Homo-oligomer: A and B are copies of this chain.
């Protein structure tokens, strides 16, 4: 099953843009709305489109996986009216590393999974892979949370961006969103 999704920034979609925040490098320009489409939309007739696919976990051990499954929350919870799309690109030095080096940086050094676990189930997250599609970013990270957990989400981002792993991130921006009343 092709799990590719396309994030379409334009005039349509259930998510209203609250703000775009640059983190590293130039952010994409802001559009009023964001739509999330299942499938690989080959032709983008909106302001911009970003594509990514879900895949198997690349660094998670058996024990970490069990903890993630136990604590994880699904997307689409009614109370999770806020969301963020954070596209991330890592530099060539990261991609030249071997699997054991990337794993060590990801968890033993940077505690990426452990930090994320502390914020579950309040901050639901989903990872889309873009690099293998020749996209401008390597990953599209997606988060959903209730307004009362926004401060915790901000803290999570600050902690992750302080890690050794993040020294390999060479482009990143935040698109903060609010669910439209339906």
Contact = CB atoms under 8 A, between A and B. Distances in A.
Contact of A129 (B61, B98, B132): B132
A64 B134 contact: no
Interface stretch (A52-60, A141-149, A153-161): A52-60
State the copy count for this chain: 2
A62 interface: yes
Interface stretch (A17-25, A99-107, A118-126, A163-171): A99-107
Contacts of A3: 132, 134
Contacts of A55: 131-132
Given A42-B42, A129-B132, A132-B53, A98 B1 contact: no
A134 B1 contact: yes
Contact of A98 (B64, B98, B99, B131): B64
Contacts of A101: 62
A65 interface: yes
B56 A95 contact: yes
A2 B99 contact: no
Given A2-B134, A132-B132, A99 B95 contact: no
Contacts of A60: 98-99
A118 to B, nearest CB: 20
Contacts of A97: 62
Interface string A1-39: 111100000000000000000000000000000000000
A133 interface: yes
A65 B98 CA distance: 7
A4 B133 CA distance: 8
Contacts of A131: 55
Contacts of A98: 57, 60-62, 64-65
